Homo-oligomer: A and B are copies of this chain.
């Protein structure tokens, strides 16, 4: 922690800061420059973060030096984590994992139809929402409990692991019984009670980045889950909100190498929500793989015109199959496979 003092800071101001620092067990270093005095405080920054040093007299600015996340950091664990979804499906290794399926579960027949197609295309994990966070209270909110049961049955029938969103701490247990990966949606990235709740299961958690969350905040949310005892977090970049409206969100492809450099957790990409239009999904999917993503989650629907949610961004299974051809070559180009 570095404290930059105001040019008019007095010795009494400095003493006041030092006194507090010493009480907290920190070792101060004072550098007097020509224009500014700077106090460096050495020791555990955590105790300092809780002290509002900015309001101390004479203080102009407080600059933290250490990253606030620990358990999820690359510094804490040098080797990349591999998250085991099932015995055969692991996320974070050489193989890039394709997760595909409809936005929402609409019926058992439809989900089965889509699941079979995406499996043929190369998907290892089936996605499908039972609880849908919708901007409007009047929009389709998902089939709920019934959707979970459908998901479980299709999963068993095809022997295919699944991922589905959990929105409410009260639902964590029953969602965990029906799905293999618990998805925390972008709008819930800082729903801290929900994070703690999924942290108490051992289920893999797919943690979507919030619409306006920095990479640092995203890692702090992952830290919430891991600190609770569940190390199985998969980060998911799904586009951030910017001024640009040509795409639904702005896909921050740079977040993939940044997150993988700062953290040992795997990072998957969601080109469907990032673009909001199926036409752009292939380009973003390819970019994600080229940039080092450990997986892709792609909305797929056999009849987009009839989809109850996000039809505009759903790929037809035949387009997914075509896309996989190109993805295989790109994966190989960067020393991976898909």
Question: In the bound complex, how far is the Cα of B285 from the Cα of A333, in angstroms?
Answer: 13
The reply to whether B250 and A242 contact each other, CB–CB distance below 8 Å, is yes
The answer to whether residues A31 and B36 also contact, given A55-B311, A135-B190 and a CB cut-off of 8 A, is no
CB distance from A74 to the nearest CB of B (A): 11
The answer to whether residues A31 and B29 also contact, given A138-B46, A223-B137, A310-B52 and a CB cut-off of 8 A, is yes
Determine whether A133 belongs to the interface, using a CB cutoff of 8 Å to chain B: yes
Question: In the bound complex, how far is the Cα of B216 from the Cα of A274, in angstroms?
Answer: 19
Determine whether A12 belongs to the interface, using a CB cutoff of 8 Å to chain B: no
Q: Which residues of B contact A241 (CB under 8 A)?
A: 212, 243
Among the stretches A87-95, A111-119, A146-154, A286-294, the one at the interface with B is A286-294
The answer to whether residues A253 and B223 also contact, given A35-B66, A49-B136, A65-B36 and a CB cut-off of 8 A, is no
Cβ < 8 Å to B, chain A residues 88-146: 133-140
Number of copies of this kind of chain in the complex: 4
Question: In the bound complex, how far is the Cα of B63 from the Cα of A302, in angstroms?
Answer: 25
CB distance from A68 to the nearest CB of B (A): 5
Among the stretches A163-171, A173-181, A200-208, the one at the interface with B is A163-171
Cβ proximity bits A322-338 to B, threshold 8 Å, 1 near / 0 not:
00001001101110000
The reply to whether B311 and A52 contact each other, CB–CB distance below 8 Å, is yes
Q: Which residues of B contact A228 (CB under 8 A)?
A: 137
Question: In the bound complex, how far is the Cα of B211 from the Cα of A212, in angstroms?
Answer: 7
Question: In the bound complex, how far is the Cα of B67 from the Cα of A7, in angstroms?
Answer: 12
Chain B residue, CB-CB nearest to A195: B137
The reply to whether B254 and A50 contact each other, CB–CB distance below 8 Å, is no
The reply to whether B187 and A190 contact each other, CB–CB distance below 8 Å, is yes
Q: Which residues of B contact A137 (CB under 8 A)?
A: 192, 220, 223-224, 227-228
Q: Which residues of B contact A133 (CB under 8 A)?
A: 190, 192
Question: In the bound complex, how far is the Cα of B328 from the Cα of A329, in angstroms?
Answer: 11
Enumerate the 3 nearest inter-chain pairs by beta-carbon distance, A residue then B residue, closest first: A52-B311, A212-B212, A329-B333
